[in-house]
Chain A
Amino acid sequence: MKKRGLGFYLRIYRKILAQDLKSKMSYRADFIISTIGMICTNISGFVGFWVMFRNFPSINGWSYYEMLFLYGFSLVSITPVQCLFDNNWALRGQVYSGDFIKYCFRPINMFFYYQSEVFDIKGLGQLAFGIGTIAYSWNKIGLEFSFIACFKLVVFLITASLVMIALQNAAAATCFWIQNSYYVLELTFRFKDYSKYPITIFNKAFRFIFTFIFPIAFIAYYPSLVILRPDAIPVLTWISPFIGIIFFYISYRIWMYGASKYTGTGS
């Protein structure tokens, strides 16, 4: 099989995306209700955050608006996993029922084809909400606004999002080996809620664990420091983009390895 270029895949992605959106639009009521549900999730998340922190001017040296910035940052950085990799949640069912076998016979990259089949459009509301939160808190903190800062923010947001994507890919891929992988996915999915707190609230041992064993701190905390603490950027922040890329690659290999072991159900 000859190697296909990026252009080829982009063209295919556009076509699959269009089909997916068309089929979603045919269930209009469901689409609208899901979007409202997503907005509710974001609003209640924000209300919870506000109720918790409104009484206190600062937590652990972090002002309210800096916490808010981190909150917005984590919302944006988990949007790609929500929008582009939502099909991971269905992997378990497809493997179990045997439907997964259809992906093994397509002449394109299996991982790409599987993930491109679903685009979760309701995640875009979260993106808007997150960007709004970042802009608002950016303004309130009085950070300098420049083209370079924006560029840095975008680069670090994209690479940070790879960490969450990698975790979800690897968690979904466990279904090739164990029966009830839903709980593994659920476990890593909850990391998104923990990523919105600064890692400095933990003691040394757990700071280590949440950096190197469960890499929650790379979803938002370390990457966001590039904007929040421009005078004292730790090394871990600079390497966080590479961590994102490496993690993504590893999770891709795990996923593909699992898929290559798949033998179908015989039906």
Chain B
Amino acid sequence: MNLKRRLSLTRAGIIESLQFRLSMLIIFVGNLLYLIVIYFLWKAIYASSGQEVVNGMTFSDTLIYLVLASAIFNFIEMYTVWEMGRAIQSGNMVLNLLKPMEYRKYLFWSFSGTFVTQFFFTFLPTFIIVAIVTNGAIQFGFNLLYFVISIVMAIVINYNIDFFVGTICLYTESIWGINIMKQVLVLLLSGATVPIAFFPETFKKIVYCLPFQSIYNAPLSLLLGKDMPVSEAMTTLGIQLLWCVVMMILSRLFWKSSLKQITVNGG
């Protein structure tokens, strides 16, 4: 019963996002341009370095990493902060609070339809093309299983970070600034723009203590790791699980305590 209720939100989301076919085409062109730029950029970087392997990554490793990072971004970015910020500013938040489902869950499940369409329309095609083009750089074994588990946790961590940041909007009523700060910090510190392997040593150590690397770096290193020992994979997944739990508790507590002092613009 409970699951059925949630899945009906998923279904509505799928139908809604299929409405915008032209936008999908434009997004596709945009992503294609991005891929072209990073391909030539990193090709030039590797050509100038004169080495096959830089910071433990070959050119094709780096490329797969960055291409899949952007594919993951497209499908896990939910613009939660925008959604919450707008609901707070317009006063519609009141309607959301009246719903017979906790707002944090409602928002997540109503976005889940987009996960499904984006997964099949952007991530999967990208993944297949990358696997074919690089011809064997992606192993097909247990790493795929690790990757799937890892990506689910990445979605949860990302959502809870977003929800936490969105809750801050209750106090500041500023959306743009909060959202942009979150976005650039997450993209940089999660290794989505430049692989974490390229970071200087001390910087790397700090980044590994933060939750952000669990969003992009963890699933991608699990996928690309050649013959990764089981213990290492388990450590990565364990750290992710830890951050999942921590972020879920934090975002829940913060939301609960913030609700007590919420002021809603008369909507």
Report which A residues bind B (CB closer than 8 A): 27, 29-30, 33-38, 40-41, 44-45, 47-48, 51-60, 178-180, 182-184, 186-187, 190, 194, 197, 201-203, 206, 214
- In order of increasing CB-CB distance, the 5 nearest A-B pairs are A33-B177, A34-B177, A37-B177, A30-B174, A201-B44
Complex contacts, B29 vs chain A, CB 8 Å:
187
A51 touches B199 (CB 8 A): yes
Closest chain B CB from A231 CB (angstroms): 22
Write the chain A residue with the least CB distance to B55: A55
Q: Is B30 an interface residue (CB 8 A)?
A: yes
Whether the Cβ atoms of A37 and B36 lie closer than 8 Å is no
Q: How many A-B residue pairs have CB under 8 A?
A: 107
B103 at the interface (CB under 8 A from A): no
Closest to A54 in B: B200
CB <8 Å contact, A187 and B193: no
- The residues of B with any CB-CB pair to A shorter than 8 Å are 20, 22-23, 26-27, 29-30, 33-34, 36-37, 40-41, 43-45, 47-49, 54-55, 172-174, 176-181, 184-185, 187-188, 193-194, 198-200, 203
Separation of A184 and B26 alpha carbons in the complex (Å): 7
Known: A40-B185, A178-B22. A194 touches B177 (CB 8 A): no
- A203 CA to B37 CA in the complex, in Å? 11
Q: For B184, list chain A residues within 8 Å (CB).
A: 40-41, 44-45
User: Does the CB pair B181–A202 fall under 8 Å?
Assistant: no
Known A56-B49, A187-B30, A214-B33; 14 more pairs at CB < 8 Å: A30-B173, A33-B174, A34-B174, A34-B177, A37-B176, A37-B177, A44-B184, A48-B193, A51-B199, A51-B203, A55-B49, A57-B48, A58-B48, A197-B41
A-B contact pairs, 27 of them (CB 8 A): A27-B173, A29-B173, A30-B177, A33-B172, A34-B174, A34-B177, A37-B181, A40-B180, A40-B184, A44-B187, A48-B188, A51-B194, A51-B198, A51-B200, A51-B203, A55-B55, A56-B48, A57-B48, A60-B44, A60-B48, A180-B20, A183-B26, A183-B27, A184-B26, A186-B30, A197-B37, A202-B40
- Nearest-neighbour CB distance to chain A for B215, whole angstroms, equals 15
- Residue in B closest to A35 when the chains form the complex, CB atoms: B177
- Assembly CA distance A54 to B203 (angstroms): 14
Residues of A within 8 A of B177 (CB): 30, 33-38
Alpha-carbon separation in the docked complex, A28 to B49 (Å): 48
B23 touches A59 (CB 8 A): no
Q: Give Cα A40 to B185, complex, Å.
A: 8
Residues of B within 8 A of A55 (CB): 49, 54-55, 198
B48 touches A36 (CB 8 A): no
- B40 x A206 contact (CB < 8 A): yes
B37 to A, closest residue via Cβ? A194
Question: Chain B residue with minimal CB distance to A185?
Answer: B26
Residue with the highest number of chain B CB atoms closer than 10 Å, among A38, A51, A182, A184: A51
* Whole-angstrom CA separation of A188 from B107 in the bound complex: 30
Tell which of B23, B36, B172 has the most Cβ of chain A within 10 Å.
B23
Most chain-A Cβ atoms within 10 A of its Cβ — which of B54, B177, B181?
A: B177
Contact B36 A206 (CB under 8 A): yes
Bound complex: CA of A191 vs CA of B22, how far in Å? 20
Q: Which of B26, B40, B43, B198 contacts A187 (CB 8 A)?
A: B26
Q: What is the chain A residue whose CB lies nearest that of B36?
A: A206
- Give the complex CA separation of A77 and B180 in angstroms: 21
Does B37 lie within 8 Å of A47, measured CB to CB?
no
The smallest beta-carbon distance between A205 and chain B, in angstroms, is 10
Residues of B within 8 A of A203 (CB): 40
Provide the residues of chain B in CB contact with A35, threshold 8 Å: 177
CA distance A44 to B45 in the complex (A): 20
Contact present for A33 and B48 (CB under 8 Å): no
Q: Is the pair B22, A29 in contact by a Cβ cutoff of 8 Å? A: no
Contact of A201 among B20, B41, B194 (CB under 8 A): B41
On whether the beta carbons of B174 and A59 are closer than 8 Å, the reply is no
B31 to chain A, nearest CB (A): 10
List, in ascending order, chain A residues with CB within 8 A of B26's CB. 183-184, 187
Which residues of the partner chain A approach B173 to less than 8 Å between Cβ atoms?
27, 29-30
Checking A27, A36, A190, A201 against B30 with a beta-carbon cut-off of 8 angstroms, the contacting residue is A190
Residues of B close to A206: CB separation below 8 A: 36, 40
Give the distance in Å from the alpha carbon of A55 to the alpha carbon of B54 in the complex: 9
A186 to B194, CA, bound (A): 21
Closest chain A residue to B21, Cβ basis: A180
- Report whether B40 and A190 are in contact in the complex, using a CB–CB cutoff of 8 Å: no
Q: Assess whether A201 is in contact with B172, with CB atoms less than 8 Å apart.
A: no
Complexed CA–CA distance, A44 and B190 (Å): 12
What is the bound-complex CA distance between A46 and B84, given in angstroms? 29
Give A221 to B60 CA distance when docked, in angstroms. Answer: 27
A48 to B193, CA, bound (A): 7
Contacts of A179 in B (CB 8 A): 20, 22
> How far apart sit A197 and B5, CA to CA, in the bound complex (Å)?
49
Nearest-CB residue, chain A, relative to B183: A41
Contact A52 B45 (CB under 8 A): yes
> Across the interface, do B178 and A37 meet the contact criterion of CB distance under 8 Å?
yes
